[in-house]
Each structure stands twice: as structure tokens, then as C-alpha cells.
Amino acid sequence: MLAAVVLLLLAGTTRLLPAAAVVALAAGAGATLAGVRLTRLAVRLPGRDPRPAAGAAVEARPTPSATAHRRPAVLLLDAAVVAAGLTAATLPLLGPQRRAATAAGLVVVAVLGLLGLRGLPGRSRPPARVRLRRLADAGAPAAGLVLAGWLLLPPATGSAPERLAAAALLGVLGVAGLTALTGAHRRPGAATCRGGLHLTLLGLVLLAVFDPAAQWPLLLAVPPLLVGMLLVAAGAARAVAAEPVALHPAPAWLRAVVPAVALLVAVGRQLDAGLPTDRTAVLLALAAVPPLVLRELLRAGEARPERQRDEPTGLVAAPADESPSPAAAAAPASLVAAPLPQPLDQLADGPALLRALTVLGGNPMPAGALLVVELHLADGAALPARRAGVLAEAVRRARAVVDRRDLLAQVGDAGFAVVTEAGPMRAYALGERLLAALTQPYQLGGAALQVPASIGLAEVATGSPQDVLRQADLARRRAVQLGRDRVEWYDAFLEEQLVRRLDLERELPGAVARGELDLVYQPVLRLDDRQPVGTEAFLRWRSPVLGTVLPDELFPVARDLDIVGELEWWVLDRACRQLAEWSANSRQLWMSINVTTSELTTPDYVQRTAAVLAAYGVPPEQLVVEVAEPGIGGELSTVVARLAGLRSLGVRTALDHFRPEHASLAQLRRLPIDLLKVGAGLVDPAPDAQRPLIDVVVNVGARLGVEIVAEELESSAQVQGARRAGCRYGQGFALARPATAERVEAYLEEFPSASR
């Protein structure tokens, strides 16, 4: 498409095509491509499932709170791009009303685009001092572009005030676009989107200003208009994907070069045409002086005497007796409050760390990064003497890795922070080198101790010191959650995930007592006659604060809080009670429940299960206990014993998530199970190479007397494939969806003869 646009521009410059036609074709192509990308992006974002048909057994899937707000933002940006394309594409048809219609389109695009930008994730507002400095930095380039626009715009554009307003708009939009695309920022996706919107508006302003009869001025609007729309789509995709910040430095020199080149071209044209210099041009040239003076004054104010660049830690500026600053008091307590043991007394303190971040963030071109390092001292390293030795050795290793100008400061009681002036790529490489050095064994007292480490990394950019500290600490927590011994970047989506995790950890304890747990049931059907023979119970947490939470998100948190057993015993109790109610109505169905390996291997699991069955008078053969095959691992002997104990009660057992591998098939012979559940991938008719696998599983199951249940069937083709392969039972959305007990009862009314 870009090649076609280049050909169109060549045709326009050689007057093979009218300029208005070139603009219309190029803008229409760009808007189409960008609009399609944004539309597909909005469709892929998660939302609520369509409402089920009346009487269907279905459960609405909740919208994830972390991404629900992004779809409206993407749709608004999509509408802005389409509006820009329509405005430019209808240029040849507008006639005398061209300028008014283009101005109206400009306003619509600006409103839609700004609303869309506000909805993108990770928005942050820098401090007032930073905003003032950014205005001072952009003032001189903006004055240069305004002067260039004034000299380049023909007098026929309109009256002097109209011409000056058009030049000012061109200059402001141009500088805003350059700043968004080349400035130091933590949101490359949102910044790219913002820069693209500014370029798009710049192109529309050019269309509104120039006469459509003029050939080359209109062609100047094509590049910013086309590139702007594509950048809006690309930036929105990166923003909603929550990509980490780019590892390549932004080309900041463009902010100085582009206005200078534009001004040279404008002055050269002015001199070549022999036009005199008017008063407005002189005033615009003088307007560049105040921003330059203000910028130098701000720089001079930031040159603090305590920033001693000759010291090995070039960012240190902290007298030993200085009391914590208000900024330090506002920082996260986990980062600066806890005193460190003696081996780390040589490190900088919290106020010095905050001052170093302030200095880096206050530069005209902010750069640098903060790395927060945590050492996971446990087991043999937990003794005070060994702990002090490990921390002292860790500091020594860190000093051997970091640059002499980097600052090492204390954070918490088992780690430290590194403030570096290096760019993003070098900062990440520094984190990898630190990790490699810190995770080497520590030789203490004749023993080798292995100490894991986690590193969180955040760019200093233009955020406040407290924001940078919080972001680096969130990245460190993410590294811990992902298994330690890793370096993690901060990004906006990461923060949303961690906040969500904290909310889950806060609200989940006590959910059973508050009555917030619920069960939904998915029918299991016999494939030959589509009769329901059983159901499987799935846990749902109906939190009034967080909405409906599914097991995939619920159980990792419950595992960390050590309350999985409480939840699973609640599921067993509620499932047996529901099974007793259905049995009283002559519904002879089995009920499957899922149990984790850790809970199944508890010594009293069989006895407690028997007690629950007896309490509700449920026949044991109507209960099916499922355990996931991947979780058995080294607990195989204990799992075999517990499953055998359940079968001795009459309870049926099932192996879930079975993988048709050699080890799994060999292990299957040892497990005392009645049902084997396989995924839809084995019975899907599409991949021919997988068809023999289900045949092997069915043959092994027949020899062992195990019935095969095909689960996760989501299409009629998968249902037919499971039936042809010999699976007796099926389960999935193509047969029946999970639903509440009331909906399942209504569904079962259609099968009066349903029985086991």
C-alpha cells in the first residue's frame, strides 16, 4: 500500500492526477488499512459472551476487569481514523464548502481521537515542574515551525489572522507529534498513538488551509495524514497489548532537525521569491527566544551542588545526618523504611535514592532506569550471621558489575536498588549481569548456599520518584511470582495484573463464610443417544467486589494462601447436597468433582469423603472424584492408594486432562480409575496425524475396563469424531454449557428417562 501511495504522489507531482484525487485515494487506502486493524483489535479484546437463547443451559462468562475498558478506547480511535479518511476522501466532491467540511471533519477527528487516547491503559500525569520543562523544550521548535508555516502559506490562504492561526496550528501539531514520537516516555504504544493522531490532524489542517487547485501544497498533506493513521493503529495495538517499553533510544534529534530544515526551506523560498520580511515574521522569530531562556534557567536550577560527579557513585548526594525528606516519607514503606544489617551500611539511604531519581527525571531529555533487587534468603541463609555474610557478598558482587557512576541504595532488609543513567537496553543488560552474579553459590562456613534473586526494572523517564519506585517494586513482585531468578520490566498491564492479584488475595479469605461461593454444573451426555448421564461441578466465586472469578484465576491465589483444602471440601459438601436433591426427584445422575493432588493425598481424605456421603445419604457410586493427570507426578504411589480407598467405598474415580504419551499410558495401568477424560484435540477430525492416538487410548481403556469421556467438545464435528473413535460419553459446549442448578434442572426436564 505504501508503494502504491508513493506512485500516487509521483503521479501527483507530474500532474498526471489532480492533487485532490491523490489525497482522496491515499487517505482512503490508509484509513481502510488502519480501520481494519483497529476493528480487528477491538474484536479480539475480551468482552461478555452473547446472551443465551431462552431455556438454554448456559453461564455468561465475565468480562476481565483488566481489559474491559480498552475496547471503547480502540473503537473511538477507529472512528477517528475512519472520519479522517472520509474527510480527505470526499475532498474532490466538496466544492465551495470544502474548507468548512474539512474543518468540521478536523474537529470530529480531534474529539474522537482525544477521547480514545484517554481510555488507553497506563496513563500518567507528570509533575508540574516536568510539564513546564517540556513546554520550554518544545517552545523553540514550535516557534520555528510556526514561522516556517507563516512563510510557506500563500497570502491567498485568508486574512492575516487566519493565516497566522493556520501557521500556529501547524506548528503546534507538528511539535506535538514529534515530541510524542521521539520523547522519553514509558508508554511507547500510547505515545505512538498520540503522535499519529497529531500527524493526522496536521494533514487535515493542511487540507483545510491550501487551495485544492494548488498541486504540491495538497500533496504535502499526504505523508502526515497517511503515516498518522497507520501510527494510530500501530500504537493502539501496542498499548492494549501492554508491551514493555522499547529497548531502543528514541531519535530525539528529530525535534531539532525537522523544525530547522522546515525553517531553512521556508526562508530559502522567501528569498528566492524576493518577498520582503514582514513584521509578523520578525515577531515569530523573536518568539523563539523566551523558551530558550526559560529552558536554560530550568537547567541552571537543576544543577545542584551536591551532585558530585567525581565520586564512584556519580548520583549520590546524601549527608549522613540528613533526615528523610517528605518525598521519602511518601515512598512505599517496603522500599525505604526498613533498616539494613551492618554489611549494607555503606549503601546510600532512602533520601539519596529519591534525589538521584529526581535528578535523572529532571533532565531535559530524561533517561536512566531503576533496578530493585531482592535476595530470597531462606533455609541455610536465614541465620543472622550467614545472612549478613550473604548480603555483604551480594553488595561486593553488585559493585563489581555496575558502572562507577551508578548509585547503590538500600531497599528493604534483603536487597538493594541500582540507579543507572544507562538507556533501556543497557539497563536491562545490567540487570541480566547482576542476576548472573548474584545467583552464583555463596561460600559461607565451608558450605555453598544457593540464593535466588528477583529484579524489577522501571525507566525513570518523566515520572515522579515515588512512581518509579512503585513501578520497579511491582516489576520485582512480578519476577517473584514468575519463579524468581529473572528480570522483569514494568508495564501498565503488569500493574493491572498485580492490583487484581492483591484484590483477590484480600477478598478470598472468608469467601466461604460470607456465602460468596457457588457451583455451576455441566451435563455429561451419552454420545449414542444424547441422554444426560451425569454432571460435573465447577466452582465459581461470586465476589461483590471483583465479580465472578473462575477457577483458573481462583485456585493459584488459594494455593498461595493455603486455603485450597477449605474450598475443595466446600465443593464436595455442596455437590453432594445437590446430588441428594436430584436423587430425591428420581434423577439418577453421577456428580463429578475435581480434587487437587495435594488434597487427595491427605491422610484422611477417604474417611472425610465417606462422612460427607453418609451425611446426605448419597449412594457412593453416584460420586465421581477426578484428579488431573499432569499433577500426579511424584505422588503416584499415594494417589494410587487414595483412589483405591475411594473405590473401596463405591466412589468412582476419573483421570482428567489425560495426555496420550508413553509415560502416561504406562502410568494408566497402575491407576485404579473408572473414567478417563481426554481432550477434544484427540478426536478433532482435522489433524489426520492425531487420529491413531485416540484409537490407542480407546483400546487401552477397553482392556483396562475404563470408560472414555471426551471433554471440551465445542463443535458437532468433534462430537461425531468422539463417537466414531469409540468414546462412550461426551462433555462440552457443543452438547451443554455449564449452568446453575435451576437451569440444569430445566434442561433435564427435556429428558424424562435420564438415568445412569
- Give every CB contact of residue 558 below 8 A, 6+ residues apart in sequence: 508, 564, 567
**DSSP letter (8 states) at residue 62:** P
Identify the residue whose cell numbers are 492416538: 693
Instruction: Quick: pLDDT tens for 462-478.
Output: 568 888 888 888 888 88
What integer best gives the mean pLDDT of the chain?
76
Question: Between residues 319 and 193, which one has the greater pLDDT?
Answer: 193
Is residue 457 helix, strand or coil? strand
SS (H, E, C) 23-53: HHHHHHHHHHHHHHHHHHHHHHCCCCCCCCC
Q: Per-residue confidence at 682, pLDDT binned at 50, 70, 90?
A: confident
Lowest mean pLDDT among 20-34, 265-279, 457-471, 634-648: 265-279
Q: What is the mean pLDDT of residues 73-80?
A: 87
Q: What is the pLDDT of residue 737?
A: 92
Q: So what's the pLDDT on residue 332?
A: 42
Q: What is the pLDDT of residues 96-133, one digit of tens each?
A: 667 778 888 888 888 888 888 887 764 545 555 555 66
Q: Select, from the ranges 76-80, 187-191, 583-587, the one with the highest average predicted confidence (pLDDT).
A: 76-80
- 633 sits in the region (left: phi over 0; alpha: psi -120 to 50; else beta) called left
pLDDT tier, 630 (very low <50, low <70, confident <90, very high otherwise): confident
DSSP-derived 3-state class of residue 453: strand
The predicted pLDDT at position 3 comes to 79
pLDDT at 644 over 60: yes
Q: Which residue has the higher pLDDT, 638 or 136?
A: 638
- DSSP state, 631? G
Which residue, chain included where needed, has cell 467405598? Answer: 649
Look at residue 346 in the predicted model and tell me its pLDDT.
58
pLDDT at 311: 35
- Rounded-to-integer distance, Cα 621 and Cα 586, Å: 15
Q: How confident is the model at residue 308 (pLDDT cuts 50, 70, 90)?
A: very low
Beta-carbon contacts of 81 under 8 Å, excluding residues fewer than 6 positions away, are 31, 34, 35, 38, 200, 229, 232, 233
Band (pLDDT 50/70/90 cuts) for residue 52 is very low
Compute the distance between CA of residue 299 and CA of residue 363 in angstroms, rounded to an integer.
8
Q: What is the DSSP string of 701-713?
A: HHHHT-EEEE---
Give residue 183's pLDDT: 53
Other beta carbons within 10 angstroms of residue 361's beta carbon come to 24
- The pLDDT value recorded for residue 574 is 94
Element of type H or E holding 410: strand 407-410
Higher pLDDT, 574 or 553: 574
Q: Return the number of other C-beta atoms located less than 10 Å from residue 452's C-beta.
A: 18
Considering 61-75, 254-268, 324-338, the range whose residues carry the highest mean pLDDT is 254-268
Ranges 152-161, 194-203, 469-478: which has the least confidence? 152-161
pLDDT of residue 437 exceeding 80: yes
- The secondary structure of 486-542, three-state, reads EEEECCHHHHHHHHHHHHHHHHCCCCCCCCCEEEEEEEEEECCCCEEEEEEEEEEEE
Tell which wins on pLDDT, 136 or 401.
401
Nearest CA among 317, 20, 260 for reference residue 143: 260
Lowest-confidence region among 47-61, 248-262, 393-407, 687-701: 47-61
Residue 160 has pLDDT above 50, yes or no: yes
Reported as a pLDDT band with limits 50, 70 and 90, residue 674 is very high
More confident of the two residues 202 and 32 = 32
* Separation of first and last alpha carbons in the chain: 62
What's the rounded mean pLDDT across residues 31-47? 80
**pLDDT surpasses 80 at 716:** yes
Radius of gyration from C-alpha coordinates of the chain: 33
| CA–CA gap between residue 178 and residue 191 (Å, rounded) | 10
pLDDT band at 137 (very low <50, low <70, confident <90, very high): low
HEC string of 603-614?
A: CCHHHHHHHHHH
On the question of pLDDT at 262 being above 70, the answer is: yes
Residues facing 417 on adjacent strands: 372, 409
The x, y and z cell numbers of residue 269, run together, are: 523560498
Residue 689 has pLDDT above 50, yes or no: no
DSSP for 467-492 reads HHHHHHHHHHHHHHHTTSSEEEE--H
pLDDT at 208: 76
Q: Can you give the pLDDT at residue 206?
A: 76
Bigger pLDDT: 421 vs 61: 421
CB contact at 8 A, 340 and 347:
yes
Q: What is the spatial distance between Cα 201 and Cα 187, in angstroms, rounded to a whole number?
A: 21
Question: What number is the average pLDDT over the span 178-185?
Answer: 57
Residue positions counted in the chain: 756
What is the structure's pLDDT at 617? 92
pLDDT at 104: 84
Q: Is 456 helix (H, G, I), strand (E, B) or coil?
A: strand
Mean pLDDT of 607-633: 90
Provide mean pLDDT across the span 188-206: 78
State the sign of the Cα–Cα–Cα–Cα dihedral 56, 594, 531, 621.
Answer: negative
pLDDT of residue 576: 94
pLDDT in tens, 508-517: 999 999 999 9
Contacts 24+ apart (CB under 8 A), 573-577: 573/612, 574/517, 574/519, 574/537, 575/519, 575/537, 575/623, 576/612, 576/613, 576/615, 576/616, 576/618, 576/623, 577/616
Percent of the chain whose pLDDT exceeds 90: 19
Of 218-227, 491-500, 580-589, highest mean pLDDT: 580-589
> Which of 534, 527, 478, 583 has the alpha carbon at shortest distance from 713?
527
pLDDT grade, residue 204 (50/70/90)?
confident
Q: What is the pLDDT of residue 753?
A: 60
* Bigger pLDDT: 333 vs 226: 226
- Span 726-739, pLDDT tens digits: 899 999 999 999 99
Q: Minimum mean pLDDT among 45-49, 245-249, 432-436: which range?
A: 245-249
Residue 323's pLDDT band (cuts 50, 70, 90): very low
Check residue 216 and give its pLDDT.
Answer: 58
**What local confidence, expressed as pLDDT, does residue 595 receive?**
93
State the pLDDT at residue 198. 80
